[in-house]
Amino acid sequence: MAPGLFMFTVYVLWPIVQSITLSFYDWNGLYNQDGEFTGTFVGMGNYAELIRDPAFETSLWNNFYWLALYLLALPAGLLIAIFLNQTVTGIRLYKSLFFFPFVISQVVVGLIFAWFYAPNFGLFYLLTEWVTGDGTAILADPDLVTFGIIAAGLWPQIAYVMILYLTGLNNVAPDQIEAARLDGAKGWRMLWYVVLPQLRPATFIAVIVTVIGALRSFDLVSIMTTGGPFGSSRVLSYYMFEMALGEFGFRMGYGAAIAVVLFAIMMIFISGFIWKMWRDEKER
């Protein structure tokens, strides 16, 4: 076990501690000739600056939209799973083709959707032009851009949730369904009172991966808009990267402070997950 734990400590646990420490410093990422750290301690300075930073506020709001809208993947995934949970010829192939978007890289998903949204000839543009008479270049519109990117992110996420629910549906106890059917349960009532309670483990995992996915959104923002136009599609993860390694120079301490905020938000969900696992362990 030792090597695994060692690697994990060096590359994951220790960096977390370092980042938190770093968030109290002002550092440009360089060392002096003697290899000494050149940062200066600024206490809560970085955090005080964050509160007043409008770009931080935008990013935080966008993260909130991501989180809220990403959860739409749950009902959508469940719907597709129910739609596909049949035994007709070729259904296996259908299921795997529906799962496709999740397998391909987010970079590729981003490029596909950038093409889809492209002004003048993109399908989405043509569609809006046809409906409203005036095309919308969604990635150039500061008010809509985040929603455009979220839609792109939902595509693979729905596929993931779908596969979780398909597996879950496979394991729903058939005798309970039959019993409920004899009692006259149908459609929505059946879904709500009989099926969904049995899908709870699947729902739980789906919520966790969706929330984590929403907060980790970096690739799509970076590929599709690089945070623009005018920084309106930034999220915390991207803003942090921009501050620490981007064109605005190497503000490592400030970046670390943003990362700590994001970490704190995620920690809420991680603790929830751990807490549930811990309860399950005890029951055994």
Partner 1 sequence: MFPRPIQQSSPAVQWLYSIALPVALLIWLFPLLGVALTSLRPASDLAQGNYFGMPSGIAWENYIFIFTETPIGQYMVNSLWVTIPTVIGAVGLSLMTGFALAVYGFRGNILVFFMFVAGNFVPFQILMVPVRDMTLNLGMYDTWYGLALFHIAFQTGFCTLFMRNFIKALPYELIEAARVEGVAEWRIFWFIVLPLMRPAIAALSVLVFTFIWNDFFWATVLTQGVDSQPITAGLSSLNGQWIAQWHLVSAGSILAALPPVLMFFLMQKHFIAGLTLGAVK
Span 87-116, contacts to partner 1 by CB under 8 A? 87-88, 94, 96-101, 103-108, 111-113, 115-116
Residue 25 in contact with partner 1, rule: CB under 8 A = no
Task: State how far the alpha carbon of 261 is from the alpha carbons of 122, 197, 204, 268, in Å.
Answer: 37, 34, 24, 11
Interface segment toward partner 1; rule CB under 8 A; list 10-18, 52-60, 127-135, 136-144: 10-18
Nearest approach, Cβ of residue 222 and partner 1 (Å): 7
Q: Tell me, residue by residue from 204 to 223, as one string, x for binding to partner 1 by CB under 8 A and - for no binding.
A: -xx-x---x--xx-xx--xx
Residue 22 in contact with partner 1, rule: CB under 8 A = yes
State the Cα–Cα distance between residues 189 and 219, nearest whole angstrom: 40
Q: Assess contact for 234 and 59: CB atoms under 8 A.
A: yes
> Among residues 149 and 164, whose Cβ is nearest to partner 1?
164
Q: Among 85, 207, 228, 229, which residue interacts with partner 1 (rule: CB under 8 A)? A: 85
State the Cα–Cα distance between residues 42 and 237, nearest whole angstrom: 23
Residue 147 in contact with partner 1, rule: CB under 8 A = no
Peptide bond into 229 cis (omega under 30): yes
State the Cα–Cα distance between residues 215 and 80, nearest whole angstrom: 24
Nearest approach, Cβ of residue 164 and partner 1 (Å): 5
> Among residues 8 and 230, whose Cβ is nearest to partner 1?
8
Q: Is the dihedral of CA 119, 125, 126, 132 positive or negative?
A: negative
Q: Which of 251, 241, 240 is nearest to 27 (CA)?
A: 251
Q: Tell me, residue by residue from 224 to 263, as one string, x for binding to partner 1 by CB under 8 A and - for no binding.
A: ------------xx--xx--xx------x--xx-xxx-xx
Nearest approach, Cβ of residue 146 and partner 1 (Å): 18
Residue 268 in contact with partner 1, rule: CB under 8 A = no
Residue 179 in contact with partner 1, rule: CB under 8 A = no
DSSP track, 47-62:
HHHHHH-HHHHHHHHH
